[in-house]
Amino acid sequence: MQSKKSQTSQRKNIKISKSKQLIDDDDDFIEDADNPKPPVDENELEERLAEEMLGESDVEDDEEFIQEVEKFKKEHSNSKIVSVHKKLGKPKIAECSILTPDAVKAELKKLIQLLDEHKIIVHFQNDYSDKEKYRFITAEIFNEVVDMTSKQPVKFIYEDYHPELDDDEDDEDY
């Protein structure tokens, strides 16, 4: 049986040899007075980090991306952002609460035709009353902003504004 003193001494030697081995294995952290390392150039360090972080970069892809960004800038440099109501020519709208059901239907039809002329699409995935559709367009969509000069259609979906009313998603879960 070994004495406690010799056991403690052996443990210290093991700890010292393990720590020495760890230090020997990791030369980057050791300062050697006989062979000092040359100072690391910051630019070289940044380049190495960029290579590690980004991996190999494809110059061709970068050029294509830059061209697409420039094209996008040119297309949208003259764009003017306005509300949907203003893009439609600020049509007069009747208060939904005072309209009769037949009047709501007629006003909604005129409104949808006007939206179509300006390539603005309002989509309802479920059936809603004409009064709710009219209210949604006049109270919510009219306040949205769009590009005045864009020739592309703009789409709005009712359920994006009121997701709790989307019955189709609930049906798919079961």
Same domain, 151 and 89: yes
Domain that holds residue 40: 1-56
Q: Is residue 63 part of a domain?
A: no
Rounded CA-CA distance 136/96 in Å is 10
Q: Is residue 159 part of a domain?
A: yes
Q: Is residue 130 part of a domain?
A: yes
How far are the Cα atoms of 31, 35, 102, 158, 166 from residue 38, in angstroms, in the given order? 11, 9, 86, 65, 66
Same domain, 87 and 156: yes
Total number of domains constituting the chain? 2
**Residue pLDDT tens, the chain, 174 long:** 555 555 555 554 544 444 444 444 444 444 555 555 555 666 776 776 666 666 555 555 678 888 888 887 777 666 788 899 999 999 998 888 888 999 999 999 999 999 999 999 999 999 999 999 999 999 999 999 998 877 889 999 999 999 875 555 555 554
Rounded CA-CA distance 22/87 in Å is 71
Same domain, 109 and 31: no
Q: Is residue 51 part of a domain?
A: yes
Geometric angle at alpha carbon 70, from 65 and 72, rounded to 5°: 95
